[in-house]
Amino acid sequence: MQQDILTPRGLDLQSFYGAHASLQGQIVAMLDNQMAQYNLGVEVLLAGIDQTGAHAYTIHNPGGAERLHDIIGYAAIGSGAIHAIQSMVGFGHAPNADYHATVFRAYASKRRAEIAPGVGSDTDMAVISPSGVHWLTTSELAQLAEIYDEFSAATAAELSAKLQDFNLGEGDADETDVAAAA
């Protein structure tokens, strides 16, 4: 932030704050506003449990208020967030969902988010409960990967079979003559 906003003007944080009185008011206000709105490129996902239950918060840049996600029961951050959120929506996930289903859905949603730039294939997963934090073992993650791969293959096969029987009403139209529009 200092390098992008103050340094081009011959200032650093110390000289900027030390020279407030001697600088033109409009310049001070403009620089202060630019610093307050500066995007650090940081997002935070915070989850935990208290006496009232489980909670998930996100904090997005530049600063600002935290967002509580208890009503929908899930949240995501980063470049794959839109994919992960859409996956959870597709699963119809809710805060009162079964424990094992929740773990699978979170894992599957992370895997689906890997399509986004910057989302790697390495996965660490932890479950937070009143008794503490359980980090999933390599074996547990391998089991989830196997379940996910089987789920994805079965879903794709079932969809493919159903699409073979799907008649859109085009009669004898040649498939190459049909254009899809979104």
Cα–Cα distance for residue pair 164/73, rounded to 1 Å:
37
- The answer to whether the beta carbons of residues 76 and 109 sit under 8 Å apart is yes
- 3-class SS letters over the chain: CHHHHHHHHCCCHHHHHHCHHHCCHHHHHHHHHHHHCCCCCCCEEEEEEECCEEEEEEECCCCCCCEECCCCCCCCCCCCHHHHHHHHHHHCCCCCCCHHHHHHHHHHHHHHHCCCCCCCCCCCCEEEECCEEEECCHHHHHHHHHHHHHHHHHHHHHHHHHHHCCCCCCCCCCHHHCCCCC
Angle at 36 between CA 32 and CA 40, to 5 degrees: 130
Residue 174 in tokens? 């040649």
Give the model's pLDDT for residue 101.
Answer: 97
Give the model's pLDDT for residue 174.
Answer: 56
Give the model's pLDDT for residue 11.
Answer: 86
Over its length of 182 residues, how does the chain's per-residue pLDDT go in tens digits?
Answer: 788 888 888 888 888 888 877 888 888 889 888 888 888 878 899 998 889 988 999 998 776 678 999 999 999 999 999 999 999 999 999 999 999 999 999 999 999 999 999 999 999 999 988 888 999 999 999 999 999 999 999 999 999 999 999 988 866 555 555 565 55
Give the model's pLDDT for residue 156.
Answer: 96
Cα–Cα distance for residue pair 67/60, rounded to 1 Å:
9
Give the model's pLDDT for residue 178.
Answer: 57
Give the model's pLDDT for residue 27.
Answer: 85
Helices 99-113 and 138-164, axial angle in degrees (round to 10): 80
